[in-house]
Structure 1
Amino acid sequence: MGLRTKIGVAITATAALVAVIMGLVVHHRTALTQLDTARDSIDSRLGAAVEDHAAGFDRPRTLINPDRIPGPLRKAIDRGRRATYLDRSGPEPTLWAGSRLGNDVIVLKHPYTRQMRNLQDLDEILWLAGGLGTAFACVVGVGLATVAGRRLNASARTAERIAHGDLTARLRPRGGQDEIARLTVAVNTMADALAARLQAEREVTSNIAHELRTPVAGLVAAAALLPPGRPADMVRERARRLSGLMEDVLEVARLDGSAEHAETDVRALGELTRRAVRATAVPDGAVVDVRVVRDSLVDTDGRRVERILANLVTNAFRHGAAPVVAEVDGGVVRIRDSGPGFPPRLLRSGPQRFRTGSGSGLGLGLTIAAGQARVLGARLAFANPEGGGAEAVLDLTSAVREGGPGPDGSP
């Protein structure tokens, strides 16, 4: 049950309860007032009838020593009291009044039907008013709940957009200074603080990489001048890795900005996949099985596509296990390995820099691949298919051109 329904039900139930209570109170008070008025009237007439009987004159509707008197009224008269009694036992309600004068019992009775009908008419009016009031409260409650629900849903959708990386998402404050308006301000403040923090992090990362670029280049050049030998090979290998890491950090910083644009041309996706696999550094003796199920021409940035596929293949060997398969099917490329699969966090939230599920590396390879895919307008998805392993899917279907490559793979 949604919040709108809960608020609507609560307001409607409250209005209905108030209507019932008010109806019962009005009914009870009206019945008492009506009965008191009728009793005062018949009691006044009884007093006059007693005086007339004492004077030897009896009015036409005065009953003297009647055979039938309601039991409670007779008991009161026998105790010497002048009393009234509303008898509901007959087909028509009747109001009785009686008193004793010497050995005689003087009794008056008056139909109470009109008063009961008036009370029934009042009950019908109360039920109608209560129903209309409850319906109106229901409409107002649902309207208020709808407005509040829309504002809360807008806050939730904006928070979800921020959580998925859209740091430009903001809410427009509405509603004065109520609690939802405070929530809106809090969400916007959180988004501003998060955007500022991430921007500062990106700037620091980019600045550090830029500052290290010259020293690292000098280190690589100096390592190349070392005399041959295992220590020199180790230094050169570490220097190359440090240089590659620095370039990856700079690329992530560029992709975080909005200055990157794709330079497109028409290429055969199968050939792009083969080029990317050939350019990837794979472990000794390892081979990537490239399968072209159905080739296609894509209007895209070939350099960026190769970068994405190379990173996916490298990640498959680094965190997965052989055999690794690259399959081209139309505008889709699938990279599969036989390892333990992607961690649940990555499947849930996507790749994040400086965080990997295996505990090794900096998580830049998949982050770069996802960033390049965004620049291309392509879709990059990660899954753990049945049977084990991990599968990364690069979907370039939107860039596929009509007509496929020739038999030799050329356009």
Structure 2
Amino acid sequence: MKAVVCSRGELEVAEIPAPEPGPGQAVIAVRRCGICGSDLHARVHCDELADLAVATGYDGFMRSDQRVVLGHEFCGEIVDYGRGCRKRWKPGTRMVALPILRTGRQPQLTGLSEAAPGGYAEQVLVQESMAFPIPNGLSDDLAALTEPMAVAWHAVRRSRIGRKQIAFVIGCGPIGLAVISMLKTAGVHTVVASDFSARRRELAARCGADAVVDPKIEQPWTAGPRTGRIEGVTDILNLGFDAMGKLRRVPNLPWWHLFRMAHTLRLDPAGPVVFECVGVPGMIEQIVTAAPPRSRIVVVGVCMQTDHFRPAMAINKELDLQFAFGYDPGEFRDTLHMIADGKVDPAPLITGTVGLHGVQDAFTALAHPDQHAKILIDPAAS
């Protein structure tokens, strides 16, 4: 079969053996596959990524001297099954799947491991237990976005954001746009998006952002409604004075029980939730310095370099710092059905489609944020 092979940072269309399904695996004929920012990083920084993966307990990540087929955001149709499968779906059934395979007890990341060739190809292997039929006649283009949208849904769920809390999305690349869409799907009233690129700000508005700012002109923290917002440490201290002034007016009131109840029910004064979707050195420090007190910062952008921030600044503001990566099978399935049911529309993310021979140019184009967000690959296209 034809596939785009990555080796030593170079991409080429090559003929490779068609995949043979192992126990519990199925073959899918790829109809669409998204180009992810992780693919762009892996192409040139895979050895660093592999060293990092080894440190976290996974030794199967691709290396630069290997020949690897990238692609983990795919949809397609069932072609064949390996032994031990239940054969739940007829050949021709359109499917999406979590991009992960397992041989015995050894998992491999599809599209990021030599042992699990990805979706930049005419066919790809999936684990039958991790595959899902595409419902409601959902288009191939939108079905292929299940994976990146599931990443965003996981980040939103991990943030535990309330509907009335303000969400700030810093960086409106594909993952930032997906986070914006999922925040609005979750019912968050106010989403403020920030990006230097005019094109990406336009896409952020199409994804549902309530306010979009150019950080060269305006900081995101000044946008959106200001009523009741905690903007500085002084606001928190004054809340304490105001509360105690009112409570102490009631004779013999055991006011400390009210504080304990507020802590138990998580009714403490809370700041906004900030989603860092840029992934370059210095972003965490910028957000820690500028974000309001009691903010929760959710890091979704993947920074590959060593970074630094001032813990004392985060301590004085009582900031929460979280990191989000991936998703679980339930979140993946739910994301697919949210898209198919029209609860979230990821269509604004798609800015182009290429065939296998266009992947090299697509990688070049994706380096310029004013042109593209998400480019899909159609292996059947010229």
Query: What range is the shorter-chain TM-score in?
Result: under 0.3
The two structures have a TM-score, normalised by structure 1, of 0.18
Q: Compare the two structures and name the one with the higher strand fraction.
A: 2
Larger Rg: 1
| Larger helix fraction of residues | 1
Higher relative contact order (CA 8 A, sep 6+): 2
The alignment's TM-score, normalised by the length of structure 2, stands at 0.19
